Amino acid sequence: MNFLKNISAAFKTAGGAVQSAVKVVEEKNRRTALMNRLRTVIRCEEKAEERAYLALGRYYYHNLRDAENTVTEPYCIDIEAAQKRIDAAVEKLEALTREGDSEAEEEEITLDDVQEYTPTPEEEKEAEEAAFVPDGTVDEAVEAAESAAEQPETTEPEKDESEEVPYE
């Protein structure tokens, strides 16, 4: 009986230790989740603040710009220079795009460099051996060809759905 009391006391002690460990982990998880939510709020508010500063700066640049203000005028000049560089890059990109389109239209494909393929006698023999089908077996390719030959030809070829779509 004394032995059972010792075992039950050990289980109670172990159970209490496990419960306290679970509570510690639970509290750490709650604290970490709260910290992550606060970090998210801070990040979102910083982005909102940055957007407001950008909007204010745009408004100032377009409406309240003072060429005699020595503090803000260098920034305005930097903005103008950046805009000129952007415009030049866009023009160059458009020119390259037009140039690439015209090259694609002028490309001509010929068959001058195509050579006729004539198999050697060894290759012909290998092809015949590969095509050999022992008696009693059915070659699926032969069956498919025979069934296609039995079907009557249609007078009008089937239209693909994409052929009926009007051009934009």
At residue 114 the predicted structure's pLDDT band, cuts being 50, 70 and 90, is confident
Q: Between these two residues, 154 and 73, which has the higher pLDDT value? A: 73
Sign of CA dihedral 151, 153, 156, 158: positive
Determine contact, residues 50/56, Cβ cutoff 8 Å: no
Give this prediction's pTM: 0.43
Indicate the pLDDT class of residue 102, thresholds 50, 70 and 90.
low
Confidence of residue 116 (pLDDT cuts 50, 70, 90): confident
Distance of CA 42 to the CA centre of its chain: 30
pLDDT at 62 over 70: yes
- Identify which of 1-5, 43-47, 160-164 has the greatest average pLDDT: 43-47
* Contact by Cβ (8 Å): 65, 76: yes
Buried b (16+ CB within 10 A) or exposed e, 4-28: eeeeeeeeeeeeeeeeeeeeeeeee
Q: How far apart are CA 84 and CA 90, in angstroms?
A: 10
pLDDT at 90 > cutoff 90: yes
For residue 110, how many C-alpha atoms fall within 13 Å in the half-sphere facing its CB? Answer: 4
At residue 147, the pLDDT reads 67
* Reported confidence tier of residue 153, pLDDT bands at 50, 70, 90: low
Residue 74 scores a pLDDT above 60: yes
Q: What is the C-alpha to C-alpha distance for residues 40 and 130, in angstroms, rounded to an integer? A: 68
From residue 124, alpha-carbon distances to 128, 129, 133, 134, 141 in Å are 6, 9, 16, 19, 19
Average confidence score pLDDT of the chain: 80
CB 133 within 8 A of CB 139: yes
Quick one: 54 exposed, middle or buried, by C-beta within 10 A (0-12, 13-18, 19+)?
Answer: exposed
Residue 35 pLDDT exceeds 70 = yes
Residue 160 scores a pLDDT above 90: no
**Greatest Cα pair distance in the chain:** 104
Tell me, what's the pLDDT at 167?
Answer: 45
> Which residue has tokens 């039995």?
150
More confident residue, 160 or 68: 68
Confidence of residue 2 (pLDDT cuts 50, 70, 90): confident
Q: Is the pLDDT of residue 134 over 80?
A: no
